[in-house]
Amino acid sequence: MAFEGLLNDPVIQKYLHELVGPTGMPVAAAPPDGEVTDEELAEKLDLELNAVRRALFILYENDLASYRRVRDEDSGWLTYLWTFHYENIPENLESEMYRLLDALEARQDYEETNEFYLCEVCSIRFEFGEAMDFGFQCPECGSPLESMDNSMLVEAMETRIDELREELNVDVTG
């Protein structure tokens, strides 16, 4: 199998599992060489046809599978022949890492530019404006809202952002 080496990588296994879920994982973990129909996959893997189709569609949406339609001349039925493209996985993972980096940078900025207050009873966090609107009392239980130090959270994000930037070879500008 052309994909065997890729599929032994736990990161790639986790990525595929996140995409297709436990029901679709047999489909994602057993990509055949060449073209295959959804019916052939369902029979080979002993899965319901709808589960196979759902997994194939998710793989298709993520550029990991493609299909071509063939019409049966006698019945007029369309048959979908699927081909797997797991060579796209590294590029997809890199795109996911860039999305994660962007989200972490935005969240870090939010954490750094806002002041937060916490109800220690309900564990509900409020921005300063919300806390002020509630008179610095929890709207759920009436307990006083305490100023929250989120510096450990910001530092953890900074560490993860630095790791991602290094892994992606992204220069820090500004």
For residue 3, pLDDT beyond 60: no
pLDDT confidence band for 2 (50 / 70 / 90): very low
Coil, strand or helix: which one is 126? strand
Closest-CA residue to 33 (of 90, 78, 86): 86
Could you read off the pLDDT of 6-65 as tens digits, one per residue?
667 788 888 899 999 999 999 998 788 889 999 999 999 999 999 999 999 999 999 999
Domains of the chain as residue ranges with CATH: 4-84 (1.10.10.10), 91-168 (no CATH)
Q: What are the DSSP calls for 157-168, one per residue? A: HHHHHHHHHHHH
Could you read off the pLDDT of 57-114 as tens digits, one per residue?
999 999 999 999 999 888 989 999 999 998 888 888 889 899 999 999 999 999 999 9
Helices (H) and strands (E) in the chain, counts: 7, 6
Q: Are the CB atoms for 131 and 159 separated by under 8 Å?
A: no
Could you read off the pLDDT of 102-159 as tens digits, one per residue?
999 999 999 999 999 999 999 999 999 999 999 999 999 999 999 999 999 999 999 9
pLDDT at 172: 66
pLDDT at 126: 97
pTM: 0.66
CA pseudo-torsion sign 16, 22, 27, 31: positive
pLDDT at 82: 95
> For residue 52, with 0-12 CB atoms within 10 Å meaning exposed, 13-18 middle and 19 or more buried, which class applies?
buried
